Amino acid sequence: MYKILVVDDEPTGLNHVCLILKKKCPQFEIMNTAENGKQALEIISSEQPDMLITDIRMPVMDGIELVSQVKKEYPEILSVIVSGYSEFEYAKSALRSGVCDYLLKPLVPSDMKNLMDRMELKLNALYYERRNEILKSLCHEKELRKDSKLERYFPASNYYTAIFRWNGLPSRFAKKNGVEIFSMEEEKIYLYGRDEMEALYLIPEELLYQESFSSFAKKLFKREQKQKRGAYVTGVFCGKQIPIGQLPETAQKLYRKLDETIVIGKSQLITLDGQVLSINKSQKEKELLERIERLIHYQDNDKLLPELHNIFLIWRDGGYSQLYVESEVKYIMRLLQNSCPLKMNTSEIEFMVDDVFYYAVDTQELEDSIMLLIQQYTSQAGKERGDNREQFFNSILSFLNKHIQEAVTLGEVCREFGVSQTSLSRMFRSYKETSFSNYLTEIRIEKAKQIMQQDPDGYVKDIAERCGYTDQFYFSRIFRSVTGICPKEYMDKIKKR
């Protein structure tokens, strides 16, 4: 419920505005009233309403000066002025001072209701953008703006929080890290993802009714598992509700726990205070790593690959986290580069390894991709096709477009064309200047737009399925993130042409 400050020096006028608001606009609450602009500013500084309704003619400070000050100091407060017919031109000129709209005396209840409905839509849009901005800052570990009043944009008393991620951690080196995901404006559960593989949930306590959040988190976990075929899901949730003021600290803990918890190929749901596997190198692992170091140093490549396979078995059977395995793999790659420097530079290695961990759906796919990358280092066996390389890549794009309705993964494309994951990722960066997942999202949304153009009365669920999305709500969020509007709005615009 949005809060309003009503300002008028005449009691009858003040009461009349308040009476109409109470009867016709239940979505608004009259927070306070004031008799002049100066008194209103004092109230605003301490209580910060969402909206200001003020008369023009008042002593001490009139409505125009008040609105101008509010616009300067509190730009997100919406202002409406009330004026008589004799002040009509004066009222219109006040729009330049920051007034959103105006009402003419004598007030007509239906006119005020229509105006307040418009103001509600503006406030909904404004607060939606601010919530998204706040969630984005928290998830990217940026400091919130000094004027970020969390209680204002997140009105519930308490919230539950959870984070779910499909597959590995976000790509850290790609220029485009995927499509950010936001909840729809009308949704009561707030959601944000750094890319399309992630969802941070912020759930008002009252939405759960009598259900425990542990039970609700399990339902969310099962739903997330169904959305992406072949993917594994890592979920972390806070078992107790928190006041919104604790969100920054809680979000930081959730992400830290997620980073520590992800195990390639393993779906798991844990609580924020759940135990994380403590990794201590076994004697066998230490000896194996020392042997790998020697083999790399002496460039004994025939014996190197079997030993690398053995170390992957240890990591898989031990359930080691992505961060741990990634750190060890990068160390091995650095050793290789120092021992037999080839064409690929350090930054390119980082890109390649980053992509491998981002896309791998299980430990076998991870091992296969790393092995192919190492073979490229040690034997040049992974040389790219020559003059027909671009033609080969175009055949891959054609395949994706033909199979857009299916939940195609990078691994499946690699197996279909007999190409390594690292080579395919490099092709997308070279020819499309984007990642495989970004490109797939782009062509799916373009396909959806084409379908909507042809049939603007179609069902969103059917359109989603024809573009490879099994969940219409997930599709709607992706569509809005890419186009700026939801599917229904897009189709409505087509019908109005």
Q: What is the mean pLDDT of residues 5-32?
A: 93
Query: Cβ(414)–Cβ(368) under 8 Å?
Result: no
pLDDT score for 342: 56
Query: What pLDDT score does 230 carry?
Result: 75
Do 251 and 134 contact (CB within 8 A), yes or no? no
With a CB cutoff of 8 Å and minimum separation 6, the contacts of 174 are 351, 354, 355, 429, 435
Give tens-digit pLDDT for 476-486.
999 998 998 99
Check pLDDT > 60 for residue 336: yes
Look at phi and psi of residue 428 and say left if phi exceeds 0, alpha if psi is from -120 to 50, else beta. alpha
- DSSP annotation string for 380-444: -TTPPPSTTHHHHHHHHHHHHHHTTTS---HHHHHHHHT--HHHHHHHIIIIISS-HHHHHHHHH
Which pLDDT value is given to residue 83? Answer: 81
More confident residue, 372 or 123: 123
Work out the angle at residue 478's Cα, subtended by the Cα atoms of residues 477 and 481, and round it to the nearest 5 degrees.
Answer: 85
CB 402 within 8 A of CB 363: no
pLDDT one-digit tens code per residue, 409-448: 888 898 888 888 878 888 888 898 888 888 999 999 999 9
pTM of the model: 0.85
171 burial type by CB count under 10 A (0-12 exposed, 13-18 middle, 19+ buried): buried
- Cβ(357)–Cβ(264) under 8 Å? yes
Indicate the burial class of 341 (C-beta count within 10 angstroms; 0-12, 13-18, 19 or more).
Answer: exposed
Per residue in 183-212, pLDDT tens?
Answer: 988 889 999 998 889 999 999 999 988 889
> What's the CA gap between 318 and 78, in Å, rounded?
58
* Sequence-ordered list of residues with C-beta below 8 angstroms from that of 25, at least 6 positions apart, any chain: 112, 113, 116
The type of residue at 347 is S
Provide the token pair at 366. 């991870």
Q: At what angle do helices 363-379 and 346-359 cross, to 10 degrees?
A: 160
pLDDT tens digits, 448-460: 999 999 999 999 9
**Cα–Cα distance between 1 and 50 in angstroms, integer?**
10
pLDDT value of residue 467: 93
Lowest mean pLDDT among 88-97, 170-179, 332-341, 484-493: 88-97
Look at residue 163 and tell me whether its pLDDT is greater than 50. Answer: yes
Compute the distance between CA of residue 253 and CA of residue 272 in angstroms, rounded to an integer.
8
Which pLDDT score, from 0 to 100, does residue 344 have? 60
What pLDDT, on a 0 to 100 scale, did the predictor assign at position 281? 79
Any idea which of 109-113, 197-201, 275-279 has the lowest mean pLDDT? Answer: 275-279
Residue 480 pLDDT: 92
Q: What is the pLDDT of residue 92?
A: 64
Lowest mean pLDDT among 234-248, 359-373, 437-451, 454-468: 359-373
Contact predicate 295/304, CB 8 Å: yes
